[in-house]
């Protein structure tokens, strides 16, 4: 199964750290943020990777290369200076993702989620990973029913982790351009075509310098180099 890392965000809340360095290349415990994700994916047998990029994106391609030193094969999907939002980035990279189910992971999260368990999972249009609501997002995003369907109406709400499996059909009606993933998922949820699971382990959205510093402290103690 192919996997895509979304790495095209501008990282406005990270400024001034992202004024001259793309957010995925910010250092965390001896590696860049995106390298930690790549290593996790490769360890879970996701080795065919697609990475999109926009702001200062060539730095990402120059730093990671073809992925061989990580045991991966990396293809890049450049989006220009502005980026195309989450769904727009996936649509722009569709020619690199194949015709089957693929994994998408936000490039600005950190987690101990066991990615390997996603191999072979039955997927209708989408299967998303939810996490308990962090302090900065207490209202959450979606709920999950007893039979595993994800719904915007179901309570309690959890937070979308930025980890999901998708079929190409989810995106087939949208043209190239800037599109967000949330509205697409909500439409598919209304048709009961999105399943999900809750991950109760470690997860962080690395959206601010303070959270980056907190992650550095965590990874300095626990992450393999």
What are 141-194's pLDDT values in tens digits?
999 999 999 999 999 999 999 999 999 999 998 999 999 999 999 999 999 999
Greatest Cα-to-Cα distance within the chain, rounded to the nearest angstrom: 46
- Residue 7 scores a pLDDT above 60: yes
How many residues belong to the chain?
Answer: 225
Torsion sign across C-alpha atoms 131, 133, 134, 137: positive
What the chain holds in terms of domains, given with CATH numbers, is 3-218 (3.90.550.10)
| Spatial distance between the Cα atoms of 150 and 185, rounded to a whole number of angstroms | 9
Tokens 């390298």 appear where? 35
DSSP at 142: B
Percent of the chain with pLDDT over 90: 87
The mean pLDDT of 115-138, rounded to a whole number, is 96
The mean pLDDT of 12-22, rounded to a whole number, is 84
Instruction: Give the list of residues 6+ apart from residue 145 with CB closer than 8 angstroms, or none.
Output: 151, 154
The reported pLDDT for the residue numbered 106 is 97
- Residue 102 scores a pLDDT above 70: yes
Closest CA to 38 of 10, 11, 65: 65
Tell me the average pLDDT of the chain.
94
Closest CA to 155 of 140, 172, 168: 140
The reported pLDDT for the residue numbered 27 is 92
- Residue 225 scores a pLDDT above 50: no
- Residue 201 scores a pLDDT above 60: yes
Which residues sit opposite 197 in a β-bridge? 129
Contact of 2 with 72, CB cutoff 8 Å: no
Preceding peptide of 196 cis, ω within 30°: no
Tokens 């200076």 appear where? 81
């Amino acid at each position: 199964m192919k996997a895509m890392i979304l790495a095209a965000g501008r990282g406005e809340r990270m400024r001034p750290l992202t004024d001259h360095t793309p957010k995925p290349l910010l250092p965390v415990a001896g590696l860049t943020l995106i390298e930690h994700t790549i290593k996790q994916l490769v360890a879970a047998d996701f080795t065919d990777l697609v990475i999109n990029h926009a702001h200062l994106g060539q730095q990402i391609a120059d730093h990671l290369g073809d992925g061989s030193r990580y045991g991966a094969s990396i293809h890049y999907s450049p989006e220009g200076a502005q980026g195309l939002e989450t769904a727009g980035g996936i649509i722009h990279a569709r020619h690199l993702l194949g015709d089957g189910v693929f994994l998408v992971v936000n490039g600005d999260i950190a987690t101990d989620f066991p990615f390997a368990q996603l191999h072979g999972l039955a997927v209708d249009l989408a299967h998303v990973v939810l996490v308990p609501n962090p302090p900065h997002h207490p209202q959450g995003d979606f709920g999950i029913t007893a039979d595993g369907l994800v719904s915007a109406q179901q309570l309690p709400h959890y937070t979308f982790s930025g980890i999901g499996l998708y079929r190409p059909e989810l995106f087939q009606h949208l043209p190239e351009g800037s599109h967000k993933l949330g509205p697409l998922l909500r439409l598919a949820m209304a048709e009961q075509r999105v399943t999900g699971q809750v991950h109760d382990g470690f997860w962080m959205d690395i959206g601010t310098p303070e959270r980056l510093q907190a992650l550095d402290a965590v990874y300095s103690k626990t992450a393999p180099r």
